[in-house]
């Protein structure tokens, strides 16, 4: 009997092949996010400790979604999406302020933060919408493709185990704060910072303060400020990233370089900032509130956002009590680090940000000086005015030449290009400041002015030229220890038609938080009780504030301000 002809692959075989093909794609859907995370870990985490932190953080995220959804493919994809977004945000933040995202960023998300992001990135709203339109169908596809189901109780147990291991590791091997300035380790640093942030918040809240001991401030009486003599208009100038670079060996400077750092009496004075390389808002808090950002510990990076609506004490408020009008000119958007809200809380009545002033990108100092002259002419007649002029032209990067047409006769001293550019911008600032002084004399003849300038922090390259033999880790430890050499800038006092009042508080070296006190003393403005207590601290501690007695004096003043109602909800 003849055998039947072979009909080829049966329908069942084809069906099995199709099922196998679909199974491979489903397995790939489960495995792909895990493999992508592994590749991301190798690329962004550089040592055993950070990779261990990454693995524990990744496991915690995965098991969280598994406990919620039970589908490993979708859980992995959601975890990977969150990690990629974190990496992108960290790189963006590092490009702007030279620090990566940490857990406190998540704690501090507010309306100002969202408004600032959508202002500086006008297309971000549409990017978010487009990303959602792409991601949502993809997540639905993974939901459908995923053949596996995980029981919720084991997933939850694994999540808690990863969390416990991460907490234990973070406590036994705390991540040094200076590592936040490194452009790497995004996921491990984020979750490890969460452990320390929550621990610190449970111990002392946002701001350190001494235990209550019954000591009280005498509240200032209404209309109790009676200044002797004529009160001067007061101008405070925030000189961006400026310090005397001659502190570093081997730097060539142009002739007459040091004149800009001298006061009216020919003395050069030192200002000890609390930040280095980028966060100007630390010093903004110092010189307006008259307090230390270091009291906020790991929350210091967000000091102006935390203080907004909570710290109702400072130089502008003290001057308003003595009859001053107050205004501020700010070179960025007012939502940045809640600058507008913080300064209004500190007593600024008229706040003008870059948009209000019509600034286009970064403007030279002369732009803000000219705007200040214009706005000073619109002030209330016969009332002294406090003006805060916040400059930004000397901000990094120094690898590109900023407005070279403004210094046509400039001759580079012969350092590396970035340092010569830094020196050129300092020379430009000095010349434009002289023009501003001339403008004050011309526009307001006979009126008294007290002008106080300060360098808000050293530029980001300063530690490398001040301590050229140290690697990044050693420099980071010096910065964490607040080595004065890495935080010293300058402050200078000038006057027009006014003789600054002699005071023992006008010291050759001061911590940044004392500048409001120095200004009031030099202007002859009577101190309110909180500044009188702070003056006693200043004299006892010889110009040091938070560094005095390991922070005990600063914590004591914070407690007095809390009990008096000047500081709330911290």
**Domains defined along the chain, listed by start:** 19-204 (no CATH), 237-524 (3.40.720.10)
Bigger pLDDT: 184 vs 262: 262
φ, ψ (nearest 5 deg) of residue 17: -65, -40
Q: Which two tokens stand for residue 102?
A: 């940490």
Query: Are 127 and 325 spatial neighbours (Cβ–Cβ below 8 Å)?
Result: no
Query: Distance between CA atoms of 566 and 205, rounded to whole angstroms?
Result: 17
Q: Which two tokens stand for residue 362?
A: 């970064």
The residue whose two tokens read 């004299």 is 539
Q: Is the pTM of this model over 0.75?
A: yes
CA neighbours closer than 13 Å in the CB half-sphere of residue 519: 31
Average pLDDT over all residues of the chain: 87
Closest CA to 244 of 548, 527, 491: 491
Reported as a single tens digit per residue, the pLDDT across 426-438 is: 999 999 999 999 9
Query: Are 505 and 535 spatial neighbours (Cβ–Cβ below 8 Å)?
Result: yes
What angle is formed at CA 532 by the lines to CA 483 and CA 514, rounded to 5 degrees?
Answer: 25
Closest CA to 430 of 469, 376, 391: 391
Does position 59 have pLDDT exceeding 90, yes or no? Answer: yes
**Predicted pLDDT of residue 19:** 47
Mean pLDDT of 181-192: 82
Mean pLDDT of 295-305: 90
Query: Distance between CA atoms of 93 and 433, rounded to whole angstroms?
Result: 31
Distance of CA 19 to CAs 14, 23, 31, 97, Å? 9, 6, 18, 52
**Predicted pLDDT of residue 114:** 57
Reported as a single tens digit per residue, the pLDDT across 493-520 is: 999 999 999 999 999 999 999 999 999 9
Mean pLDDT of 403-418: 95
Does position 222 have pLDDT exceeding 60, yes or no? Answer: no
Does position 153 have pLDDT exceeding 50, yes or no? Answer: yes
Burial classification of residue 222, based on how many CB atoms lie within 10 Å of its CB (0-12 exposed, 13-18 middle, 19 or more buried): exposed
Reported as a single tens digit per residue, the pLDDT across 70-83 is: 888 888 888 888 88
Query: Distance between CA atoms of 53 and 300, rounded to whole angstroms?
Result: 24
% of the chain residues with pLDDT over 90: 59
* Partner residues linked to 509 by β-bridges: 270
Does position 352 have pLDDT exceeding 60, yes or no? Answer: yes
Does position 556 have pLDDT exceeding 90, yes or no? Answer: yes
Query: Are 233 and 387 spatial neighbours (Cβ–Cβ below 8 Å)?
Result: yes
Mean pLDDT of 232-259: 97
Query: Distance between CA atoms of 54 and 36, rounded to whole angstroms?
Result: 13
Bigger pLDDT: 18 vs 127: 127
Burial classification of residue 305, based on how many CB atoms lie within 10 Å of its CB (0-12 exposed, 13-18 middle, 19 or more buried): buried
Q: Is 339 helix (H, G, I), strand (E, B) or coil?
A: helix
Query: Which pLDDT band holds residue 28 (cuts at 50, 70, 90)?
Result: confident
Reported as a single tens digit per residue, the pLDDT across 95-106 is: 766 677 777 776
The residue whose two tokens read 């990977």 is 80
């Amino acid at each position: 009997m003849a055998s039947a002809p072979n009909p080829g692959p049966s329908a069942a075989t084809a069906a099995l092949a199709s099922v196998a093909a679909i199974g491979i794609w489903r397995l790939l859907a489960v495995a792909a996010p895990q493999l992508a995370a592994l590749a991301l870990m190798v690329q962004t985490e550089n040592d055993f400790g950070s990779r261990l932190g990454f693995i524990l953080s990744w496991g915690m995220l995965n098991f969280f979604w598994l406990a919620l959804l039970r589908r490993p493919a979708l859980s992995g994809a959601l975890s990977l999406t969150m990690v990629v977004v974190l990496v992108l945000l960290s790189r963006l933040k590092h490009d702007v302020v030279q620090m990566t995202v940490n857990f406190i960023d998540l704690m501090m998300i507010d309306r100002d933060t969202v408004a600032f992001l959508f202002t500086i990135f006008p297309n971000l709203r549409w990017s978010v919408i487009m990303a959602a339109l792409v991601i949502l169908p993809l997540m639905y596809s993974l939901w459908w493709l995923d053949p596996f189901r995980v029981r919720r109780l084991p997933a939850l147990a694994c999540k808690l185990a990863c969390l416990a291991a991460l907490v234990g590791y973070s406590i036994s091997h705390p991540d040094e704060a200076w590592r936040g300035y490194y452009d790497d380790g995004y996921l491990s640093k984020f979750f490890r910072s969460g452990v320390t942030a929550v621990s610190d918040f449970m111990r002392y809240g946002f701001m350190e303060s001494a235990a209550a001991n019954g000591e009280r401030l005498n509240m200032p009486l209404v209309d109790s400020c009676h200044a002797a003599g004529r009160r001067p208009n007061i101008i405070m100038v925030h000189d961006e990233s400026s310090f005397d670079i001659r502190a570093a060996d081997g730097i060539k400077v142009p002739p007459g370089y040091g004149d800009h750092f001298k006061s009216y009496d020919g003395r050069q004075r030192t200002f000890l900032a609390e930040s280095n390389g980028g966060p100007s808002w630390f010093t903004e808090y110092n010189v307006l509130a008259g307090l230390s950002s270091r009291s906020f510990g790991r929350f210091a990076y967000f000091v102006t956002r935390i203080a907004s609506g909570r710290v109702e004490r400072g130089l502008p408020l003290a001057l308003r009590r003595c009859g001053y009008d107050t205004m501020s000119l700010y070179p960025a958007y007012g939502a940045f680090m809640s600058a507008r809200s913080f300064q209004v809380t500190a007593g600024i009545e008229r706040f003008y940000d870059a948009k209000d002033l019509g600034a286009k990108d970064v403007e030279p100092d002369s732009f803000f000086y000219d705007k200040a002259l214009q706005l000073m002419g619109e002030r209330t007649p016969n009332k002294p005015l406090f003006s805060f002029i916040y400059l930004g032209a000397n901000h990094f990067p120094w690898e590109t030449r900023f407005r070279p047409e403004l210094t046509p006769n400039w001759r580079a001293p012969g350092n590396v290009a970035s340092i010569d550019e830094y020196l050129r911008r300092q020379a430009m600032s000095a010349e434009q400041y002289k023009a501003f002084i001339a403008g004050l004399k011309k526009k307001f003849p006979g009126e008294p002015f007290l002008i106080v300038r300060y360098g808000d922090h050293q530029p980001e390259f300063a530690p490398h030229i001040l301590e050229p033999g140290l690697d990044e880790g050693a420099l980071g430890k010096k910065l964490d220890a607040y080595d004065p050499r890495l935080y010293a800038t300058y402050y200078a006092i000038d006057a027009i038609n006014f003789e600054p009042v002699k005071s023992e508080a006008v010291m050759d070296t001061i911590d940044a938080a004392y500048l409001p006190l120095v200004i009031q003393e030099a202007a002859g403005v009577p101190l309110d009780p909180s500044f009188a207590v702070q003056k006693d601290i200043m004299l006892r501690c010889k110009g040091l504030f938070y560094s005095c007695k390991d922070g005990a004096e600063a914590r004591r003043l914070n407690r007095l301000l809390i009990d008096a109602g000047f500081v709330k909800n911290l």
